[in-house]
Structure 1
Amino acid sequence: MEELPQVTPFGSNFGHTYQFTAEYLDATLANGLYALARIPKISEEVTWETIRERIQEYAQYDNVLWWDLPEELRYWEPAEEEMMQRIPQLTRELDPMKRPNFMYQPTHVTPGRIAMDAPNLDIIGCGAYTEYHNMPRSWMRYAIEREIEGIERAGFEVGRDYLAGQKTPIAVLQLFYSPNMSILSPIDARHDFWASIAAGARGVLIFSYWHKRDGGVMQGTWDAYNECAQQLTSANLGPVFLFGEPFTDVSFAILRGPQMSAPFEPYGYNHEVRYPSLTVRAWTHEGSLYVLAVNSSERGLTARLGGLPEGATEAEATFETVTPEGEGAQPVQRMVPVAGGGIEDSFGGLGMHLYRIALP
């Protein structure tokens, strides 16, 4: 808790701990943060009355963000399924603010398992731990799309209005290391952050701040996540990704470089999955069109993005600057020409661009 002040300057807005008490809610509140209110698992020491008392106690705090169910409950285990059903019922009954319910689901879950759990949850978040799962970067798209598929299989819509039955997918990204896995580099972390949003995640949770100590190799990765969070918040992109209207007219063609990203076989599948190297998602919000494009190939490529407003002549490449020629010249915002409703641009390996186009 003493390190909470170290995360707030970069745009992180909530905390989580396994040693959860009301004291943690006090500490996060003092640092301007929300917190996940962790509900314990039923045991010899924890009864249903204990859980009722905890919910009533924590519900008094305005900075509870979500109710955090015991992790990885299994629907085929009767005692665990009872917790999966009853705890959300109790939070709805006892929390005057009726805040959403979340349960971390493991990295290997399939859309079918997500569909079984979705009726009881509001926030859908599974481990998207690429190195832990020994997957290529392109797997990040699958990690988020399986959540969306599970939500839709269960008969729900993706969205933020959870009290009306919509479900919100989020990314739970890796920040830990052990000697039996490859190191998640800063470049990998930046890719996974933006690729998860391009694939449809409505929020990003990092697991975990504590593990940035692992092996003395994760500080740079933590710094990269901080950079992404700071970019997102400084450009006020949260409302774009959460409240923006999807813009589905954008298309793309890869002109040079790898057409497809690395193949992989997800857990529970008996065939390979392979995506185009580029993942693109777009939104309109408050008079602007935002287009996020992420390259999941290790090699660079050149692509044309089409379907943009015909009257547009230029796009702002958010976060990017260029320095004009000439002595003493200062960096200026990078602007990309838009011609015939399209942009042609180059992407570095695992690189991304976020374009903002003013709408007429």
Structure 2
Amino acid sequence: MKVHSFAIAALCTAIVVDASNLHDVRHNARHSRLSRRSSTPKLARRCKNRPQGLTPSQPPAQPPAQPPAQSPPTDNNNNNTSGNYGGDNSGQNNNNNSGQQNSGGDQQNNNNNSGQHNNGQQDNSGNSGNNNNNNGNNNGAGPIAGSVAGLLSVHSDCGDIGATKDITSITGPNGNLYWLNCGLEDSGWRPPFFTLDDIKFADLGQALNDPKSPFHACKDFTDLFYKHGTENGIPPIVLASFAMQESTCNPNTVGGGGEIGLMQLTHEKCEGASDCFNPDFNIGTGARFFKKLLDSNGGNVLQSVGAYNGWYPGMTKDAATAARHSGCCRCQQNLDYLFQTVNGWWQNIDAYSNHLGAFFNLDVC
């Protein structure tokens, strides 16, 4: 009986051990299958490192979708920055940013990048339109700035004065360029008549309050312009304008024909002077000379301004530019001189950086 019981116990133990071995075989086989799967391409792809910066919940980065093409904006930004050029700030700075340049000229950013640029000289901004106001040879269609003191209104024997509140490359409050140059391109210059009482101009002191005023180049001589202007009955900005036009207010300037100093005095005006470059002497002599011209021309301010630069009644374009082919190219008369003076500097506008005029005959020199 004891032997029988021992046999039964041994048989049960063998069954338990065999079952345990079967579990181990199946467990090991499962891990063996997983091990083989881990080398499959599919699992290898799944186990690639995540893109850096992604959290487990984030999908892999996708290339950005391309936005649909946008048409150029059409709203107009009428950013009036005429103070950049002087005068009051009533002028328009058409900040258009949309167009094609047809003949870019010198490209000085006329902020009028609207529509088509016809000789662009400056970037004038806004977002629509056909921009002819590029401060170069641009037919004067668009404004650079507004006038500071109304429009010139006098009797004219040379057609329409063409005075405009807005200043462009060929129009302004003291008349159109071709009116000022009346007769120059045919029978000879016939200077329209107007006096100091008729002209429109900015106040020099107020102009200097504008941080963009070109007359900051003359700030060291402001008192002298007032001093000699008062002594001779000439608005200080008129004298300062001669200095800007002639020398850009550089007292050490020597002209192409030997002219001297701020006001570009010729040698005969410096006779007996210990220092013709001295600003007080130079400005005073220039002021007295202009006063003499006014008196001899019956108060005709335009004829006198022209005479300061060598213009004279009856002068033709050919005569004015004859020196172009000589050894003194800059001895020509500047055909834009009158307009640059009366509608540029007198209005607190830099006639050079804004490319006022239409002829630019000295550019070849």
> Which structure: greater strand fraction?
1
**Of the two, which has the highest radius of gyration?**
2
Structure scoring higher RCO (CA < 8 A, sep ≥ 6) equals: 2
Q: Pick the TM interval, shorter chain.
A: under 0.3
TM, length-normalised to structure 1: 0.22
- TM-score, normalised to structure 2, is 0.22
